[in-house]
Every structure is written in C-alpha cells, then in structure tokens.
Amino acid sequence: MRLHDPPKEQTIIGRLCIDHVARTIELDGTEVKFRAKEFDLLAFLALHPGQVLTKDHLYERIRGMDAASDHTTVRVHVKKIRDKLCINEIEFEGIETVWGVGYRLRIVACIE
C-alpha cells in the first residue's frame, strides 16, 4: 500500500498546527523546533489522522528508501516528537502506539 500526500498547506489537529509549506509546527500558538526527519514523520502522520501506519512504512517515509527498516529509528523519532510537544507538564498524547504494528495520530480533545 502506497500512501500519497494530498496537497495541503496546513494541518490543524486540536492544539497542533503544522504548516507543510513553511515546515513549522506550533503547539498552542508557540513554535516548536523540529529536526527535518522529526518534522517529516509528524507531518506525514498528520496527513493520515486515525490511520495506523506501520513502522516499516514510516521508516521508508522518513529515510526516503525501501530497505530493511530499523524500528529503533522510528521509535526514537516518535519519542523525540512526544518530548518536544510536552509543554507546561501537559503531555501530548496524540501519537498512539499500536503495539506490534506502528503508530497512529489520534485526534484528541484539548486539555485545558
């Protein structure tokens, strides 16, 4: 299965705003700095909210190649994304681990 990115300038999911053109990410209106691969991974998940994406597919996406995937690389990127989106002790829980398969970006209600 090959997923294609629909042309989109921004994706807004709850408190998160991803600008695909400017390659910026804001949480609650505050820009959060991401490395290129972290941005690519989160942006790709955001383009497919609610859909489970396998670790192999995500690895291919962030590395840009078909190869025997390194699931550790994907896990490390997801952990860094989660850590960077943790603001004021409120943890970003939008990236859900689907054990034995991969990850999905959940649409979650804003926590006040």
User: What are the residues whose beta carbons fall under 8 Å from the beta carbon of 72, sequence distance 6 or more?
Assistant: none
Q: What six digits make up the tokens of 71?
A: 């699931």
Q: Residue 78's closest CA among 22, 107, 39?
A: 39
Estimate the crossing angle of helix 36-47 against helix 71-84, to 10 degrees: 90
For domain 35-105, give the CATH number: 1.10.10.10
Residue 87 is predicted with a pLDDT of 62
**Per-residue pLDDT at 110:** 42
The token pair at 46 is 């955001």
Do 88 and 32 meet the contact criterion of CB atoms below 8 Å apart?
Answer: no
Per-residue pLDDT of the chain (112 residues; tens, 9 = 90+): 455 555 578 888 878 899 999 999 998 898 999 999 999 999 999 888 889 999 888 888 877 655 555 678 888 999 999 888 876 555 566 788 999 899 998 865 444 3
Both tokens of 30, joined, read 């505050």
Domain edges within the chain: 35-105
pTM for this structure?
0.80
Whole-number pLDDT of residue 35? 94
List the one residue out of 72, 104, 7, 80 whose CA is nearest residue 63: 72
